[in-house]
Each structure stands twice: as C-alpha cells, then as structure tokens.
Amino acid sequence: MTDAPKPAAAPSRAAMKKELPEHFKAYKHVWVMVELERGHVHPVSWELMGEARKLADKLGVEVGAVVAGAPNAGTREAAAESFAYGADVVYLVENPILAEYRNESYTRTLTELVNAYKPEILLLGATNLGRDLAGSVATTLLTGLTADCTELAVDADKSLAATRPTFGGSLLCTIYTLNFRPQMATVRPRVMAMPARQEGRIGRVVEHAIALEEDSIVTKVLKFLPDRSSQKSNLAYADVVVAGGLGLQSGENLQLVRALAAVLGGEWGCSRPCVQKGWAPADRQIGQTGKTIRPKLYIAAGISGAIQHRVGVEGADMIVAINTDKNAPILDIAHFAVATDAIRFLPALTEAFRARISPHAKDRLAG
C-alpha cells in the first residue's frame, strides 16, 4: 500500500534505468481500456481517449481501444463510439463470459491482448472496475502502474511522465516506468476534459477470440442489484454542485445545501470530515478520496478547503466560497467569496436563486 515517493534516491536511479530492454522496444501505441458494463460505457473512457489521442500524436503512434463484453451487449456500439472519440483501432473481444465484470476473466482478457499486440502505454479509469483490473494486470505483467494521474505527458525520450498528487494532494509527483512495458496509468473520472465527439470518424476493428471457459472462472455473479435512481448521485458529472462542510455544524444543516442544489437543478456533496462524522454517505464526498467534479458552478458552504478537497474541485468553471474565515484556503481557488455564516446565508441564496432563475420552481417542488 505504499506509493511513497523516494525523491532522495530517485535521480541516480532514473539515470541508471535509461536504456529500455530490447524485447520491450516492439511495444507501440497508446491504449485505453473501455469500461463497458451492462451496455453502458463509463464516460471516463472517453476522457481517457482524449488524453490517449494527444499522447499518440506526440509519439506518432496509434490509439487503440480495448472493448470487451458479451456478444451484442453494446460492444459494437462501444467500438463505434471509440472511433468517434479518437481511437484508430478497436481490439474487440466478444465472449458470453465477459457479460459481467469479473476480475479473473477480464484480467486474462486484457493480459492476453497486451501480450499479443504490445501497447507501450495502457490507460484505465480509476473506477472500481479500472482499479480492480489495473492492479491485477500490472502485477501479472510485472510492470509499473501509476494511480490517479492528473497529468499525462510524453518526455523528450518518449517515455510517459505520469503526474499524480501525493501526500493527500499537498504535493505532486511525476512517475516514470522506464524499464518496463506497457507503462500503465489510471485517471479518475472528470480529471481530464471530455474530448469533442467526431461523428462519422471510423477506424480498424481487430477481433480477438479468447479461449475462456465458464468452468475455469471461480467467481460467479449471482445477481446485480441496480441502485435506485433516486439515491444514485450524479455528482461527478453534474453542471452545478453545492457542497457543505463542517462550517454547517450539524448533519441536519446539510438540508440547506440540498435545498439550494434542488433549486439549481444540481447535485449536492460534502467535504471528507462530514462523511467521517456520518453526516452524509461516502458517495457524496468531494475531493481527492471522494469524487472529482468539473461543474460550471460550484458553491462551497462552510468548507475550509483542505488540499484534499481542493484537488477535487479545481476543475470547476466558477467557484463560490461561503465561509466566515477570510483566510480559509478555499479562497485561494474560489472566484467569489462571501464572508458570512453559511447556515444563515444558504436559505437566502436559495430564495434569491429561486426568484431569479426559476419562477415556477415553487410549483414543481410542491408537486
């Protein structure tokens, strides 16, 4: 569980590891593992495709998309979408065993594809699926894996420079996998911008048959219980987010945050301490260990803005901080600040927005 940087010893080591072993020189192209589950592709895959396109263009290589799933379970659609978001080649694996995500079947599939087609860079979403899979595949291939990258670049010597927050986000570090291929990295949803979709863009499909027998896979999915839509949070992808912190003083006062979010047609969230205090469920947490958000408008009420929180909200177009402390770190990233008590101010702001943007909101809420 250590990913601790080793700055002191790093430079000499880095210099030592310059020359890539001969058998890895055949590794080319930048791949994205497309997360297809029950016919739906996680948007993080397209965000990664945008990054993969930039890296591949710098390296002068192709973008490959790995699409795996049961036959006719959205695989062809996912392949077409991969092209629209920038892939040149889709490596398509269709097998009934891949109907539901399971570590064993997916690890075997992705490992086999990597060994067969040899990508130099392999990107996955830092989702439950992506993290579960990336750790297994990297260990099987005995290669380097950098988690939760916030920036991906190609160096002068063509190696991948993967930058990620460390020590709870207070510092950034740039990590290389110099001697091994593929160079693997995960990126959290919403950290990278969604690339433009190019309608009608096409590419090559490489169909790969995989010899997997259901009997050889130990873990079985007995059933899938979908979240009730009412409790499902769309926090990461919301256009407006209102969040509360310890400044609200009680879990009940998070209701004020929810009310404003409702009037704005947005989602609500909170800082990490609120989750730790049991005021809100973990899927409402915003920040480094919670959700990363990129809304058009973010309102932080009673949140001081520890680094942990900041790294999760910096991508917002407009940040409003409501905080009595005029020196709170959130003010370093906010665009507008209101130095007042959020508990008193939130109801007034809710009413003001209601009057300004949605004259009929009252009726709807009542109904």
Site for other proteins in 321-350 (CB under 8 A): 321, 326, 331-340, 344-345, 347-349
Residue 38 vs 158, nearer CB to other proteins = 38
- Pick from 193, 350, 180, 341: nearest CA to 256: 350
Task: Give the DSSP letter of residue 285.
Answer: B
Site for other proteins in 85-144 (CB under 8 A): 100-101, 103-104, 107, 127-129, 131-132, 134-136, 138-140, 142-144
Strands 160-166 and 151-154: antiparallel
Q: Which one of residues 20, 74, 174, 246 is an interface residue with other proteins (CB under 8 A)?
A: 174
Total interface residues for other proteins by CB under 8 A: 111
Query: Quick one: 168 exposed, middle or buried, by C-beta within 10 A (0-12, 13-18, 19+)?
Result: middle
Rounded Cα distance between 331 and 183, Å, is: 37
Rounded Cα distance between 208 and 102, Å, is: 19
Site string (46-85) toward other proteins, x via CB under 8 A: ----------------------------------------
Per CB under 8 A, does 173 bind other proteins? yes
Residue 59 vs 333, nearer CB to other proteins = 333
Residue 193 vs 282, nearer CB to other proteins = 282
Site string (284-323) toward other proteins, x via CB under 8 A: ----xx------xx--------x-x--x-----xxxxx--
Pair of tokens at residue 195: 């690339």
Per CB under 8 A, does 42 bind other proteins? yes
| Shortest Cβ 207–other proteins spacing (Å) | 26
| Shortest Cβ 344–other proteins spacing (Å) | 6
Query: Quick one: 334 exposed, middle or buried, by C-beta within 10 A (0-12, 13-18, 19+)?
Result: buried
Site for other proteins in 239-278 (CB under 8 A): 239-240, 263-266
Q: Which one of residues 196, 198, 357, 362 is an interface residue with other proteins (CB under 8 A)?
A: 357
Element of type H or E holding 129: helix 128-141
Q: Which residues 6+ apart lie within 8 Å of 274 measured at CB?
A: 244, 245, 246, 248, 251, 254, 280, 284, 285
